[in-house]
Every structure is written in C-alpha cells, then in structure tokens.
Amino acid sequence: MTDRTSKTTHQVLIFWIIAGWVGFFLLPWYMVDGGLWSFEWLFDGYPFDEDYAPAAFLIAQGEKLWLAPLLIALTLPLLVLKRAKSDPLYARVLILSGALGFGWLIAQGFGIGIRGFNFNWLEAYFGELGDRQFGMGYGAMICASSLLFLLTQGIAARGAINGDVFVVSAIGGVITIVTVFVFFPIAKMLFAAFVTEDGAYSIAVFFSKFFDARLWGLGCFFGARCGAAWNSLFLAILVGFVTTVLGLCFALVVTRSGFRYKRVLRALTVLPIITPPFVIGLALILLFGLSGSVTRFVAELFGMQPTRWLYGMPGIFIAQALAFTPIAFLVLIGVVEGVSPSMEEAAQTLRASRWQTFRTVSLPLMRPGLANAFLLGFIESMADFGNPLVLGGNFDVLSTEIFFAIVGAQYDQGRAAVLAMVLLFFTLSAFYAQRVWLGKKSYTTVTGKGDAGVHPLMPTGLSVPVLVIALGWAVFTIIVYAMIIYGSVVELWGVNNSLTLKHYVTAFSVRFEEEGIRWTGAAWDSFWTTITIAAIAAPLTAAVGLVTAYLLTRQNFAGKNAFEFGTMLSFAIPGTVIGVSYILAFNVPPIEITGTGVILVVSFIFRNMPVGVRAGIASMSQLDRSLDESSLTLGANSWQTFRRIILPLLRPAILAALVYSFVRAMTAISAVIFLVSAEYDMATSYIIGRVENNDYGLAIAYSTTLIFVMLAAVGLLQILVGRVQIGRRTQSTTETPS
C-alpha cells in the first residue's frame, strides 16, 4: 500500500513539474496579440521575437533577466523526485521552491510594468530599469499554476489534511483564483477612490467625492433631487418589502390553498430567470410610456395629457417588483413547505382554530424565511442595473451613477470607485446581516423522516385577499410578457401598429450562398459571442462551484469559515461593482485582459460561482458521508472518491449548475456593460445600445428571441434532470432502508 501512495503522488508531482517547464520553455510568456489560439505567433518570429518568446528564450537573449530566478524554483523539485513522500526534505524542498517561485512571479509582475518599475522606491533603489513588460500570457499562467501546486503538494506532504494532495491543492487553487479575481479587483478599486488626478494618493479626494451632494443630498424633501445613495436605499427597502409580501402570497396560494391552477403560478416563477432584467422595463414602457397602450387608452378616455410618470421611481419600482417577486417566492416556498405539518396539526389538536394556528405557529416559524426574502430583494434591487437604465429618468441610483461616472463625459474613475464602495457597503451589510442574524435561526423542520401530515389550508379570511393579490399579480405578469412578444412584431409602437416581422429580419436574417450560410442579421455577432462565452463559462463555473462545495461539505480545515465567507461574498457584490473593479484591476499588467473574451468568461465564473456552490452544497449534504468514507476505506483516494462516487451521484446538481450559469451569463448586463469591447459584444449590451437609440422594435425582438432560447435551455434541463431523478428515487430507498 505504501508504494501505491508514493507512486500516485509522484505522478502528480511530475505532471506539474513538466507543466512548469512547458510554461517556461515553450509557451509565449506574455500576452499574445490576437490570442494564443490563432497560432499566428508560431509563424511570426517565435521563439525569438520578444513579443512571443518563452521566458527561457528571453533570458538567453539577455532580456527580462528578472525572470531567471524562476528557473531555480522549477529545477529544485527535480532533486526530490526519488525521495519518499514522508521524507521531511521532500516537503521542505517543494514548499520552498513553490512559495519562493510563486511569490517571485507575483512580485516581479507587480513590480515591473509598462513603464519599467511601478514603484518609485524600487527605482530609487535599483536605478532606472530601461526595460518593461506587458501582461502575463499563457506561459506565465501555466508556470504560476505549476508553482502553486508544487507548493500545495509540499504542504500536503508535511501532513496537512492527512497529507491529501487533492484536497490541499483544491483549497489552494480556489483561494488563489478567488483572491485574484474577487479580492484583488475590489482592493484595487478601493485604492482608486483615493487617487487624485495626478496619480497621488489623498484622503481629501476621497472625502470630497464621498460627501458629494449628488450622493447624499436630501433635496427631495424640499422639491429638489435626492442623492443617489438615498434613492437606492429607499427603493431597495421598498422593493424588498413588497417582493416579500407578494412572494409570501404566492407561496401560500401554492402550498395552502385549494386553488386549481397552482402549476401555472409556479411556471410563472421560472420567467425572471430566463429574462434579461431590463426586458420588464421595456414592456412597461410599451404599456405605460408616453406612447404606451394604457396611457393612450386612458388619455383618450378621460381626455388627459399623457405624462412621463413612469420614468423614475415608480417605473423602476414596478419593474423590480415584477422581476424579483419570483425570487422571494422561491425562497419562501422552501420555508413555507419546510414548516413541519405535524407542528400545525399539533396546534390544531390543541384546540387552536385555523387562523390561530396560522398566526401563532405557521407565521412565526416562517419568520427567518421572510427576513431572508427581504434581504435578497434588497440586494437584488440595489444591484439592478438594467431597469434603472431603461426607466430611470431623473431618478439617480447608485448602479447607473457608477456606469455614467466611468462611461459618460465625466470619466471619473475615482468617483465610480467611491460610488461602488457605497453600493458595496449597502449590499455587504445586508449580506452580513443575513448570515449573522439568520444563520442560527432556521426553524425549518425537514428531518428526512417521512412526515405524514398535510399542511392545513389558510383561514378563509386570509385566503381571499391572498388569492386576489396573487392572481392579480399573475395576470399582470402575463400581460407584461404578452406585450413583449406582441411588441416585437409591431412596426413602430404607438405610431404605426401594423404587424411586421421586419425587426426579426433586421436582427436575424441569413443568406444562403455558395460558400454556405452568411449571417447577415445585425444581431448575429453579439448572439454568437454570447452563446460562445456563456458556453465556455458554464462548465468552468459549475466546476469551480462544485469543487468548492465539496471542500465546504466534506472537508475540515483551518479557516474554513473564512473560506466559505470569501467564496459566497461575490454573491453580494453587485455586477456594476465587479465591472468597475475589473476595469481598474485588469487594464494594466500583470493581468491585462480587458477587451478580451477572457475577462467576460472570468467575470461570469465569479459572478455565478455562489449559485454553483449553493447547488452543490444542497445536493452534497443529501449524500450520506458514509459513502465517501467507505470508498476511502476501500483504498480509493479523495480524488478518485470525488470522481467516481460524488460526481456521478451529483449529476442533477451539475446539470442545474450548468444550465443556470449558462442562462445567467446570457441575461447578465450589469458587469458585462463595462467589459464588452467592439470585438466581444454581448447580446444584452447590444440590446441596451438599441434602446438608447430608441430602436425599441429591434431590442424587443432580440429580447424575445433570447427568452425563447433560454426557455429551450431550461426545458432541456427539465427533461434531462427529470430522467436522472427517476434513477435517484430508487437510490434513496437504498440509502435509508426502513
């Protein structure tokens, strides 16, 4: 048995050493113009051209000599290849070379930039460098991974987590990527808030931007405009409250009423997942805008002058309430169903009436869920970007202000950073409150034991108003979506109401020619980019999410709580903040990826990772731990256990995470709008662009198409997962023999 462990470990070691050497000797060290996968660099002076050369060739030609120490870090591990894993020297050498190499790689990356040394004290100490470097490329990236995993193998060999290489490496990997792509950009953004126009740091700058009247002004009490921060806060509280109430109504109708068409109500809740967030705003314009159908109808009926009442607070509020009520519903349905029926039945046998039972037992037990739904609505409203952009009018909110600070004429990165910090402060406070306050207060009483009871119906006095509210809302939602589809086939809304397919033709026309199909429509470019980026991001998101979930549910290690908090944090970071921070952090070396497709993929991975983590945790905690343990005692190591036992049993969760991250990547707008470039335009930002040009027909036709594409994706998932679940039902009887 000993020989087996030492053998596999060294295979992993050899793999990473080879990877490091490939990164150092074969692949271009710096970012390649036109992308690595075009392979143009192969015929353009590789391996000697400075732009495409691997590190080893650069050093041999006497350039970039500061890369040379890495060679030592990559050579040292060769010395311990023949040693046993338990040999203290083995661990020491790997830790030393991994830590020093990785540290050096990072230090030189930050120390030396486009204009030589990045820091004045470095220049004062070493003198003018006379050389410079650009963003790291694949060579540097693979070299860095190699050094990182040499380090983790060294740590594992010292006995951390029982010497488990896979687990230590996974922890190290997740921590590194989360640090690089979440904490580093946020930190960079915080620093940007203190930068003056000539590049020095100053606290005064921060305060002058922070105490701006446009941010905290209270003018709306005196007939003027209020600051964006107050606007956002007020709107978020209102939306949180209303979505919670509406979500509860829906949940009560579905679980505790005799209403017949519950399935229709449930189906409505899928809609916002597959709808780009600003589409609701568009539909509201079609209904209530200046030339909206309802506005016109009312104006003709009462002879009133149509007003712009929709643009501003009312419009954003209605759109967000429509968009986020289903999210509150999804939270509350779990809680409302989770209240054990036997509790309610017990109350009834203790002579409580239905109304008393509901008031004294059911409702108090749902309280944590209500708070949770409120906080989610609050965070979503704060972070929403699309609806305020479409409907905002003169009503400034933080997320759009950030956008205009970066994109608009003012181009003030510092102001964007300050606004982003305020926004981040609000959402993080809500996130923190949710975790600290609600973490310990879950009353849901699902035990896994069969609970034979049924939920009692709502008391009649409650069920009538609840049903009316829920139905009214459902009808309104259906009308809104009908408007979207109808709007996409109308020539020019409110002016020329004749039916036409011309918007679809403009967007999605194709020509069949001899060379094949030519995608002549205006939307195809962004459409294919979106599909490609989403398809690349989805599996990566699912992978990172599931590995993290595995570490969180199945392993114990020091700092696990901080690890969990860190990985879930990006959930609370609004997309606009991510967008701003990515622009600030990744526009300069060492990681210079703005304007590429990579930055879009990366932003999707870290925006959607928490969803993958949540899905993974939920389904992994349903797998009995003894399954992994028995696999371990049968001689499989933790990687083999993960691959052969956990992954196959998690197929539904994997599929869900895949489709969900795919759909989210297609509907996202807030971070995307900062990160798109001419070459990599995404569907949502293209649509927003059309809206800003008042080209509503095309925008709505494109949105409708997206909705149907994603409906197909979700439908496919339902079919696939449904099939897997049939297999699982028989399995669950094995796990709990009765």
Query: Which positions touch other proteins (CB under 8 A)?
Result: 1-2, 4-5, 159, 162-164, 624, 626-627, 629-638, 640, 644-645, 648-649, 727-728, 730-731, 733-737
All residues at 6 or more sequence positions from 451 whose CB lies less than 8 Å from its CB, including other chains: 340, 341, 342
- Measured from the CB atom, the residue of 120 and 733 that comes closer to other proteins is 733
- Measured from the CB atom, the residue of 646 and 707 that comes closer to other proteins is 646
Structure tokens at 570: 């990006």
Distance CA 10, CA 85 (A): 8
Structure tokens at 205: 């700058």
- Measured from the CB atom, the residue of 61 and 626 that comes closer to other proteins is 626
- Measured from the CB atom, the residue of 90 and 504 that comes closer to other proteins is 90
- Measured from the CB atom, the residue of 342 and 621 that comes closer to other proteins is 621
Residue 465 beta carbon to other proteins: minimum distance, rounded to whole angstroms: 46
Distance CA 537, CA 668 (A): 13
Residue 35 beta carbon to other proteins: minimum distance, rounded to whole angstroms: 40
Distance CA 189, CA 209 (A): 14
Nearest to residue 287, comparing CAs of 304, 310, 271?
310
Distance CA 640, CA 621 (A): 19
Residue 736 beta carbon to other proteins: minimum distance, rounded to whole angstroms: 8
Residue 537 beta carbon to other proteins: minimum distance, rounded to whole angstroms: 28
**CA atoms within 13 Å, Cβ hemisphere of 14:** 9
Residue 163 beta carbon to other proteins: minimum distance, rounded to whole angstroms: 6
- Measured from the CB atom, the residue of 137 and 163 that comes closer to other proteins is 163
All residues at 6 or more sequence positions from 241 whose CB lies less than 8 Å from its CB, including other chains: 374, 377
Residue 167 beta carbon to other proteins: minimum distance, rounded to whole angstroms: 10
- Measured from the CB atom, the residue of 117 and 563 that comes closer to other proteins is 563
Residue 635 beta carbon to other proteins: minimum distance, rounded to whole angstroms: 4
DSSP 260: T
Distance CA 268, CA 474 (A): 8
Distances in Å between the Cα of 29 and the Cα atoms of 24, 489, 655 are 7, 52, 36
Residue 11 beta carbon to other proteins: minimum distance, rounded to whole angstroms: 14
Residue 156 beta carbon to other proteins: minimum distance, rounded to whole angstroms: 11
Structure tokens at 298: 């009312």
Q: Contact 320/354 with Cβ under 8 angstroms? A: no
Length in residues, the chain: 738
Residue 620 beta carbon to other proteins: minimum distance, rounded to whole angstroms: 14
- Measured from the CB atom, the residue of 130 and 648 that comes closer to other proteins is 648
- Measured from the CB atom, the residue of 263 and 440 that comes closer to other proteins is 440
Instruction: DSSP for 15-61, please give it.
Output: HHHHHHHHHHHTS-SBPPTT-GGG-GGGGTTTTTSTTT--HHHHHHT
DSSP 179: I
Distances in Å between the Cα of 511 and the Cα atoms of 413, 516, 517, 519, 702 are 44, 8, 6, 7, 19
- Measured from the CB atom, the residue of 1 and 678 that comes closer to other proteins is 1
